[in-house]
Structure 1
Amino acid sequence: MSTGLKGRCLCGGVRYACSGPLSQVARCYCVQCRKASGGECATNAMVARGTFRILSGGDLLREFESSPGQMRVFCGQCGSPVYKRYANDPEAIRIRTGLLDDPIDEMPQLQVFVSRLPFTIVDASDPELRARRRPSGQTLVAFVLAPFVTADQPKSRRALEPSGRNRASR
């Protein structure tokens, strides 16, 4: 398990450290987590409250009670969700793994509210997908779209043309 972790919000105003191990790495697809993260899910890891400390920007933190007893703590400057805590579990908090400075080795052990997700998830444990790297000189747009573009989609194929700029919007 990862220990000695540091993280920060998008603007860098809030910085934190966690000396204890992560546990219960989970991806949550509930509506609240999707809205709070702005993505298809939120990936959280539980840490003991005593192992977590705010290094800077504590005055920037804001709280929102998204449901009874569940507090979401975020940076009031950039809006990054930093962690959440539950009134019925005062000894633990759940940090957002996307704010960690370095990637963690732990794969999510749990996925919850998957039925709430309106589209299919790519299986990141597939070795072929995990090994995929962007070739030198290929645009990011071309790399991301290549698996989804076929010969019968000529308009989409234009996004893959090397032109020095993103042509996906044409």
Structure 2
Amino acid sequence: MDARAKAVLAQIRSAFEAVRLCGGVSLHEAHVIDAYGTPQQRLAARALDTDTHWWEVPDDAIALGWGYCALSFMDARGLHYYLPAYASWAVRHAAQTDSASLDHTIYTLETLRERPENFVHFNRRQALAMQAFVQYLMDIDHDNSCFRHHYLQAHAAWTAHAEALKENHHD
């Protein structure tokens, strides 16, 4: 891993260090929501997520199976907790993965403009970390011109969000 990747990972870790799930939709619970599960099934699924910090989320839970689409079924607290895990996973594995989780992380970040209510818990430092994450991916993924539009949209959204939070003094 190069120095730039390490710096982005450190920025994400520092910005989201204190974030906890706090009752938000969990990873396994998101899968049950996707499958139209019952409240009892959701509760049982939540029990499978034993992590207390987002950096404890196993890479396999993000990269394999249904993990890629879990972000689509999260509430604002779930996104606040899991996006740094997905972004960190993407930085560590972008060069050698074919998992849809990488693309879906960018798609999720891109939804900031359409669904700002999903990102109300992010402060300015966290918005800047997401911006740095997207910039890192744009810089290392020179050949993916068909996906570049999504990178640019996500980057612009998080740049604007960080500016808005600065103006509103939300550090």
TM range (shorter): under 0.3
| TM-score, normalised by the number of residues in structure 2 | 0.25
Which of the two has greater strand per residue?
1
Which of the two has greater helix per residue?
2
| TM-score, normalised by the number of residues in structure 1 | 0.25
Higher RCO by CA contacts (8 Å cutoff, separation 6 or greater): 2
